[in-house]
Structure 1
Amino acid sequence: MTSTPDAPLGSRIIDDKSPICVPFILDRLAQYRKQAADAGSAAPARPFVVGINGVQGVGKTTLVQTLYETLQDREGLETLVVSIDDFYLTHADQNALAAAHPDNALVQVRGEPGTHDTALLTSFFDAVCSSTPTHVPEYDKARFSGKGDRAAPTPEKPGRLVNGPGQPPLQVVIVEGWCVAFRAVAPAEVETKWQQSGASPNSKLASKLHTHKLEHLLFVNKKLADYDAAVTNRIDALIHLDAEQTPYVYDWRREQEAALRQARGTGMTDEQVEQFVDAYYPAYELFSDGVRRGIFGEDKGRQLRLIVGKDRRVKESIVL
């Protein structure tokens, strides 16, 4: 299992999600295998892909760990966990993107759709879904004074290999992250939300869309369309950990950093946290509603939405 770079460090996360999510995933996996058997195959043609979406600090890491242990250890299924964060652009490519769009604050640092390497995402999932040997990328957020960079493979440290010689083929892949399963929306919807945001009250919980130019938001939206073929269309089941109120992410992230400062003597200040989350928040505003409606259209039963309160406890579960 790969590490998740933004793992929650506080002790207040209560894992009341796994008892709901584990049966859901096992049921979907059983149906996935049955479809293969009904088609005359001894096993599915490719791994079962589970997506996990949730704002930062909602408890993704705790849930992912339980799912991995259940599938790998209890069910005996060769399982891989990957984070969307490990597919961020290299430091050099991120700098080039920022330089090409110097007035677009949304792409000056990693975060928003468009700052991931979708070519790498595509080639990685092509390999995983065809049971071809491939190395799992790893992103080091500490490099370049926190700006981050992808760990460059070397002959001595090529990275973790999956589907390699003598290795059992992957049967389940869990891909987790804050923007997993986001889909681009119609440009007119971006414009409508942007116009509405201009009337929001001036408060810390107000919309962030009006702080950006419309063309900059449309740029991110256009880039997000590339994620469909790379990963989103390959997801077989989705768990959406949905904050009852999206602004909770600010408090949850502050709690993470406070715990980090206490444990390691380093971490972002509250002001830095607000600036950090601000870089992600426009995507939450633009694309979360699409996930809430369900990403599978009329193919029902493949998505589980858990609505989580301020205390991170599940208040409602909905199968879409």
Structure 2
Amino acid sequence: MSSKAQSVIQFIVERFENLNRQRRFSLKPLIIGISGIQGCGKTTLVSNVVRKLDQDHNLVAVSFSADDFVHTYEKQVQIKLNNSQNRLLEKRGLPGTHDVAFCRDTFAALCKAQYEYATRIGETEKEASPVLVPKYDKSCYNGKGDRVPEDQWQRILPPIDCILFDGWFLGFKHLPDEVLSRIYNDALRRPNGEEKPLFLSHALSHLLTINNNLKEYETSLYPFIDIFIHIDTEDINVVYKWRLEQEHRMIAKGMTGMTDIEVKEFVNRYMPAYELYLPKLRENSFFEQNGHSFEDISGRHLRLLIDENRDRISEVIL
């Protein structure tokens, strides 16, 4: 098992034991938010962590991703039409392309199921109904993607000790409009010859739309998260290398993959969000502000730094 996975498991187990002593945590699943840029190995990491929590620590863990809650293909088409000039919303992935209300209701249903299991509500124990978690197939409609039929969704029954929820932009928080506007205009004034951020390839109004969309994730989903894990790297541009490697492996296996130029264009769509929101996540705890005291939020955010080979370099707990 990788040192990265070992760090994550140790962090989860210790927080589960500590927080489970408090009633407000003991009657619900411990919800773990996991953030990391595309290609950093989140899917493999989460799969290994879920398995080891069960095998080595007797903890029932389930997992799903923000990708599972991307809007249906039909809804994606409508979003594109409603934002016809905004290239950031032409395809899935960025804030505004997920069914946030559905995701919120799924978290609530899972918490309710575990609460009823933990308190054994009712005179006789009744068999619980499964909570259905959608699955998404990115290959549908020539790569545009769509939600799979309901009979293929994940069916989750209590007990549920831990929920691992991952997403590439999880933890990103909106900027005040005036701050985003100032960042944009300052970048425009950079001298010729100086490298300029990719967010300048988009209209400020389009960036403000994405920025406003982020608020729904913050208010509807972030309050469910009990502990947070951020997988970071020293150079965000390594995402191009990782994505190229992924496509080359798919092509080598005889599968359809993007060309190198298409990979660059694909990653470019996400870079504005990294440029605008990653600095704040790197500098602050996910739980900062929101009315919490320092004692309440301290020690609940793990930042793992990895190298271009996805190996752990260092870690810090905030």
The alignment's TM-score, normalised by the length of structure 1, stands at: 0.86
Q: Which residue of 2 aligns with 1:9?
A: none
- Once the 2 structures are TM-superposed, how far is the Cα of residue 200 of structure 1 from its aligned partner? 7.9
- Once the 2 structures are TM-superposed, how far is the Cα of residue 236 of structure 1 from its aligned partner? 1.0
Q: State the alpha-carbon separation in 2 of the partners of residues 158 and 68 from structure 1.
A: 20
Q: Which residue of 1 aligns with 2:173?
A: 183
Q: State the alpha-carbon separation in 1 of the partners of residues 228 and 237 from structure 2.
A: 22
Q: State the alpha-carbon separation in 2 of the partners of residues 200 and 96 from structure 1.
A: 40
Higher helix share goes to which structure?
A: 2
Q: State the alpha-carbon separation in 2 of the partners of residues 214 and 239 from structure 1.
A: 31
Contact 1:122 1:229 in 2 (8 A): no
- RMSD between aligned alpha carbons? 2.0
Contact 1:200 1:206 in 2 (8 A): no
Q: Which residue of 2 aligns with 1:304?
A: 302
Give CA deviations for 1:131-179 in whole Å, capped at 9, x if unaligned: 17421101110111000111132xxx2622212xxxx321110001201
- How many residues are treated as equivalent by the alignment? 294
Q: State the alpha-carbon separation in 2 of the partners of residues 109 and 200 from structure 1.
A: 33
* Change in CA separation of 1:192 and 1:57 when aligned onto 2, cut-off 3 Å: same
What is the letter of the counterpart of residue 238 of structure 2? Y
Query: Does residue 1:237 correspond to 2:249, yes or no?
Result: no
- Once the 2 structures are TM-superposed, how far is the Cα of residue 33 of structure 1 from its aligned partner? 0.8
What is the letter of the counterpart of residue 287 of structure 2? F
Equivalent residue in structure 1 for 2:279, among 289, 293, 296:
289
Contact 1:200 1:207 in 2 (8 A): no
Q: State the SS of the aligned residue for 1:267.
A: coil
Query: Does residue 1:216 correspond to 2:206, yes or no?
Result: yes
Q: Which residue of 1 aligns with 2:20?
A: 33
What is the letter of the counterpart of residue 17 of structure 2? A
Q: State the alpha-carbon separation in 2 of the partners of residues 202 and 227 from structure 1.
A: 37
State how 1:45-84 maps to structure 2 within 5 Å: 45-84=27-66
* Greater Rg over alpha carbons, structure: 2
Q: State the alpha-carbon separation in 1 of the partners of residues 44 and 138 from structure 2.
A: 20
Q: Which residue of 2 aligns with 1:162?
A: 156
* Change in CA separation of 1:64 and 1:179 when aligned onto 2, cut-off 3 Å: same
* Change in CA separation of 1:201 and 1:17 when aligned onto 2, cut-off 3 Å: farther
Q: State the SS of the aligned residue for 1:240.
A: strand
The alignment's TM-score, normalised by the length of structure 2, stands at: 0.87
Equivalent residue in structure 2 for 1:106, among 81, 88, 92:
88
Q: Percent of aligned pairs with the same residue?
A: 33
Q: State the alpha-carbon separation in 2 of the partners of residues 140 and 105 from structure 1.
A: 22
Q: Which residue of 2 aligns with 1:115?
A: 97
- Once the 2 structures are TM-superposed, how far is the Cα of residue 201 of structure 1 from its aligned partner? 7.1
